[in-house]
Structure 1
Amino acid sequence: MKTGALGDVIVTRGGSVNPAKFPDEEFELYSIPAHDRGGPEIVLGSEIRSAKQIVQPGDVMISKIIPHIRRARVVGPLKGRRQIASGEWIVLRSENLDARFLRHFLLSDDFHSQFMNTVAGVGGSLVRARPAQVKTIPLPLQPLPEQRRIAAILDHADALRAKRRQVLTHLDSLTHAIFTEMFGDVRTNEHGYDVATVDDISERVTDGEHKTPRRSESGFPLLSARNVRDGWIDFDNTDFVDADEYAMLSRRIEPREGDVLISCSGTIGRVAQVRQRNRFAMVRSAALVRPGAAVHPTFLERTLASPTLKSIMVAQANSSAQANLFQNQIKRLPVIVPPVALQEEFAERAARVGAVVDVTQQTTAADDELFTSLQSRAFRGEL
């Protein structure tokens, strides 16, 4: 199979525009935040603060910022507005490449491993892929009909994965619906339950270590906000500390099964119960709530994850100079306290849904493994 270099299709002189000079014009803006929300967004020129790249339908873009998050997309058809993109996108364009084929390549494991080798920066949002090095990454060059055939296969496989993920979303919605049916909303408290604060019903509320822990290549997982997902804890993408460092960190808090974790920086208000018996440490960006006798851990998890509580947490975090949620703010969060027997009934019903979720997640993992295999074969010319 022939190969070229990615630099052959990277747009270096595609032009730019300063939308602020056209304050009343609507632009179709491809920004990184808009992409993460499903983007693009329609924005008046007066609301755009800096010059942007001009893009066109069929362009393929890959994000160079925080590159461990895989972001690639195709610019959509023209709908009467000028199409522009932030400078955090590397733009690719070629009449000899199918846009869907190229997007799949940019999201593949093989490309991603090479892409990460181009990264520079000190951490967080300062980490970026370097376009000069990205240009040297090999690019598979197959005839257009073959590219379209491969893209169609990968599109179909990806659509099946997306449907499976939708099932997981619906199952989560079902648990939320059960919760709402049984308990209502803390703000309205239509069932007239006792109202308390998180501090009232908790044995302990704390955050992780404030000092920067000494990382290790292996040992005990060190969790931060990024590892607290909605309803589960990501133990596959953690830092580590050795036994001595863990012993020091665990003097502050030693998480245990039944504790509830909250993300306190970045994406605020993700909530997950500790269901594993893993021993791990935490840093400041995650907080821990240890429920007392009057509250079931599953009920507390779902309460804190409710739209009302999440919106309160986000509002409180954004009230400071830098978006962070602090333990005193968590302690003041309002909660309802239904009878423990009712909480236990909810936990049992949620567990039955959770059993279906577990099976669906296993199937989803198998789908992902198959898709990765298809991608690998496709870009080696074996599909």
Structure 2
Amino acid sequence: MEGDMSSPNPGGRGIMTFYPTYEEFSNFSRYIAYIESQGAHKAGLAKIVPPKEWKPRGSYDNIDDLVIPTPLKQVVSGNAGVFSQYIKKKKAMTVREFRKMANSVKYRPPKHSDFEELERNYWSSVNKNCPIYGADVNGSLFEPNVKEFNIGNLGTILDTLEQDSGINIEGVNTPYLYFGSWKTTFPWHTEDMDLYSINYLHFGEPKSWYAVSSEHGKSLEHLAKDFFPESAKNCEAFLRHKMALISPSILEKHGIPFEKITQNAGEFMITFPYAYHAGFNHGFNCAEATNFASERWIEYGKQAVMCSCREDMVKFSMDVFVRKYQPDRYAQWLEGRDVVPIDHSQPTPEAEENPECVWKYQKRKRRIRFLTNLQELSRRMAEVIQVSVMLNMLKY
């Protein structure tokens, strides 16, 4: 499939899936600008399927002794589609031990014929038989010589944080590994500082995602406050605690638009600024993730509502980003007067500066115009043939 083609995923009703060529895949920031120029950010989530010739590493056979320092037992309470999740820390285990546990009778996924059946099973049993998640493992499985889409070296403007301020935040501007098992869950949240995120599924069973776009983020927050009033009372940004689970049926009932999609091994998922997302793992797998930024994110970072009740929540000054990328607004920023409404539909400014994005957009429009004209020509030819047949019949 051509690299500039994208298509809504049938299960996602609006989440776009992209198939870049190797050449397009070689520049991460440029390709993110391109997919935004195509409207990918409007759903809050996008999938990127790498070219077949690309590999993040030669083999995963040598990671069995990798240590998961703090596996997390996920304890879920609640009912009727609204749940709270709390975690209990477990003792360290190796990947070999975690795999054995995840594939055991107690923790392995139930038999199912399709995703819909597995999804129903998940929501009907989410508060039973607590799963264990090997989350937040510092490190990367990408080989150092991999230049394309290397999660440990994306080369976006988030690098400014380390380059200009000397700040390293694990899992934000460094990679984290996540070892999943059946039903391990990531509750509804946006990324720290409302950044972008990238998630690559190295191997194993699929991962299901739900997304609410940035346009409808406030609606989800209002609904969550109604369901979790005590949490909302204690912290304005309580969803950053990653404890709230709200099922798709509840979102539908309350008119909150959402999308869903399944990520398979070897695929990337991109979440966009201030896009709420949640999901679960279908069984034993390994994913790698980190955050990144574009110029479009800066406004989101400046206006991000932060958790005020926990000292370990990620927070950093936006000063360096405003000074470097919005110098004409820096004085206003220092005075607290630089507040502008965010247009969630607009792509990152880099898309306008990227001739390749413009060229591909024009090429795509020409292709659509050509196909439309071809379809119209075929219709007219069919009419001519039909009239010709009728005239011949009248002769006889």
With normalisation by structure 2, the TM-score equals 0.21
Report 1 or 2 for greater relative contact order, CA contacts < 8 Å, sequence distance ≥ 6: 2
